[in-house]
Amino acid sequence: MPFSRLDKDAIVVASGVVELGLAACLALLSKERKHIGWASAAFFLAVFPGNVHQWRTGRSAPLLDTDRRRFARLLLQPVLVAWALWSTSGSTRVRPRSTAG
């Protein structure tokens, strides 16, 4: 049974709510950053097929009203996955500068 337009819109809204929820968790649950980072990366991977479908069918969304913009989002998706993992990896130590001269 194919999804109706309302169902597709509901999926888009729901995915936005999940994104906001993940962002809120990152802000509020600092001890769980690494797990939330993995959940965020998994979420970005999970929505990728939908983004491919949107690009292939030419379905517009706010700020995604051209094929070029929809395709650019596909190229940015792996960056989002890497960023979610890198930014929550827990490695916040900065190396001291060498004073040898």
Q: What is the pLDDT along the chain (101 residues), one digit of tens a residue?
A: 555 666 777 887 888 899 999 999 999 999 999 999 999 999 999 999 988 988 999 887 777 889 899 999 999 999 999 999 999 986 555 556 666 65
Residue 36 phi, psi dihedral angles, 5° rounding: -70, -35
DSSP string, 5-44: HHHHHHHHHHHHHHHHHHHHHHHH-GGGHHHHHHHHHHHH
Domain ranges for the chain: 5-87
